[in-house]
Structure 1
């Protein structure tokens, strides 16, 4: 479903990702964890070419692209496989909730307006926002805005959903609600990759956890083994630091 082969990425002399090789199967919910600057968000953004790797090959579902040689068509194909939910929602402030979701269907999917609004309304009902269709983002809570962002991401029928810190900008009372929604989507078989620093969220939603540090893939394990049985010194140090900061 997803394959990264020999992916490297640098910003000037700062090596953000060092020769990353990774395979993710259909239906997996994979969470990327690690300290700030580990390369988590960069890796996520590479999957839909919001960042361009220095070298390597990326395959997502039916699309493959090689950093050494690619076309605009290759980029469009890759981006068509996934949707991204951002930390700060990225909703259009001058459009209603319904318009925010329908716009991508009209512009990207070339859907007729009537059909686009019908599908958008159905998706907003699915994420519990059917009573806010004509509201603007400024009138919504953070959790409500994130629900709209998730509905917008689902609108284009992606094969993979990418979440970049989906709960970090939320007040605590909204975190559980968004977690529940993500779990519901995952239960329907959606392949997901999430970046998060909230370990309770990570442990409850992931089927697999990847620990990154200094641009390297340090450990790749299931949640129980990583949190309770990891023998990797770097992973242990990271988890111990988190435990200390939470106390």
Structure 2
């Protein structure tokens, strides 16, 4: 389903990812954890070609791309496999809730306006935003904006959903609702890769947890093994610190 082969990435003189090799199967919910600067978000963005690796190959679904030689067609095919939900929602401020979702359906999925609107309304109802169709982002809470962002990501029928700290910009009262919504989507079999520091959520939703540090894949395990018997001393220290902060 997803394969990264010998992926490297540097920003100026800092190597952010070092020879990453990773395979993720269809239906898995994989969470990337680790300290700031570990390369988590960069790795997520590479999968949607929002960042370009210095070297290596990426496969998502039936799309393949090699950093040493690729075309615009290769990039479009890769991006067509996944949708990304961002920390800060990235909604169009001058468009209504409904317009924010229909735009990608018209431009990317090539639906006519009537079909796009029908699908967008159904998705917005699904995420609990059916009564806010004609509101603008400025009139919504952070949690409501993130719900719209999730509906927009689902609209193009992605094979993979990518979540970059989807609750980090939310007030505490909204965090639980967004995490519950993500768990509902995961329960329907959607393949997901998430960056999150919400350890209770990570433990409850993930089928695999990957710990990154200094651009390297330090540990890859299921939640029970990682939390109860992490192989790396650094992983254990990181988890203890975050778990303590949540209590």
TM-score by length of 1: 0.98
Deviates more, 1:226-235 or 1:75-84: 226-235
SS for the counterpart of 1:132 is coil
Distance 1:245 1:96 in 2: 38
Match of 2:23 in 1: 23
Kindly tell me: are residues 131 and 205 of structure 1, through their superposed partners in 2, closer, same or farther at Cα, counting changes over 3 Å?
A: same
- Residue 244 of structure 1 and its aligned partner are, at CA, apart by 4.5
1:226-241 correspondence runs (5 A):
226-241=226-241
Distance 1:192 1:129 in 2: 22
Match of 2:151 in 1: 151
* Residue 103 (structure 1) aligned with residue 103 (structure 2): yes
Q: Deviations over 1:72-116 (max 9, x none)?
A: 000000000000000000001111100000000111111100110
* Residue 114 (structure 1) aligned with residue 87 (structure 2): no
Deviates more, 1:1-10 or 1:220-229: 220-229
- Residue 45 of structure 1 and its aligned partner are, at CA, apart by 0.1
Runs of 4+ in 1 over 6 A off after TM superposition: none
> How well do the aligned residues superpose, as a CA RMSD in angstroms?
0.9
SS for the counterpart of 1:10 is strand
Asked if 2 retains the 8 angstrom alpha-carbon contact of 1:219 and 1:232, the reply is: yes
Where do 5+ consecutive residues of structure 2 fail to align?
Answer: none
Distance 1:110 1:79 in 2: 15
Distance 2:173 2:104 in 1: 29
Where do 5+ consecutive residues of structure 1 fail to align?
Answer: none
Distance 2:66 2:185 in 1: 30
Match of 1:179 in 2: 179
Distance 2:21 2:89 in 1: 30
Asked if 2 retains the 8 angstrom alpha-carbon contact of 1:38 and 1:215, the reply is: yes
Deviates more, 1:16-25 or 1:191-200: 191-200
Distance 1:100 1:32 in 2: 28
* Residue 94 (structure 1) aligned with residue 94 (structure 2): yes
Kindly tell me: are residues 212 and 100 of structure 1, through their superposed partners in 2, closer, same or farther at Cα, counting changes over 3 Å?
A: same
Distance 1:243 1:107 in 2: 43
Q: Deviations over 1:163-200 (max 9, x none)?
A: 00001111111111111111111111100000011212
SS for the counterpart of 2:131 is helix
Match of 2:199 in 1: 199
- Residue 240 of structure 1 and its aligned partner are, at CA, apart by 2.5
SS for the counterpart of 2:109 is coil
Number of aligned residue pairs: give it. Answer: 247
Distance 2:173 2:14 in 1: 37
Asked if 2 retains the 8 angstrom alpha-carbon contact of 1:16 and 1:38, the reply is: yes
